[in-house]
């Protein structure tokens, strides 16, 4: 689910401002999690990390690459 939300938010980045993108992400998480509550137990750490990084991106935080 996290990857789908990330892809949708990225697709909409051209037409929405930061606050609109953040609200879009919140709505997607809420609506999609209502449909797939049983999938929550199967969410991997990679998906949680992806969701966290997406949230930080929407908040305007810069990307930091760790080598």
Does any domain span residue 27?
yes
**What's residue 19's pLDDT?**
87
Domain that holds residue 13: 2-58
Which long-range contacts (C-beta less than 8 Å, at least 24 apart) are formed by 42-47?
Answer: 43/1, 43/2, 47/1, 47/2, 47/3
Does any domain span residue 65?
no
Q: Are 46 and 1 in contact (CB under 8 A)?
A: no
Does any domain span residue 43?
yes
Does any domain span residue 64?
no
Does any domain span residue 39?
yes
The structure tokens listed for 46 are 């990679």
Q: What is the pLDDT of residues 9-38, one digit of tens each?
A: 888 888 988 888 888 888 888 888 766 655
**What's residue 66's pLDDT?**
58
Domain count, the chain: 1
In terms of Cα–Cα distance, which of 39, 58, 34 is closest to 1?
A: 39
pTM of the predicted protein model:
0.51
The structure tokens listed for 16 are 């929405």
């Amino acid at each position: 689910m996290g990857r789908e939300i990330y892809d949708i938010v990225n697709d909409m980045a051209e037409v929405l401002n930061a606050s609109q993108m953040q609200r879009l992400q919140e709505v997607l998480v809420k609506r999609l999690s209502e449909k797939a509550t049983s999938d929550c137990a199967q969410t991997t750490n990679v998906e949680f990390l992806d969701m966290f990084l997406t949230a930080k991106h929407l908040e305007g935080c810069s990307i930091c690459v760790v080598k």
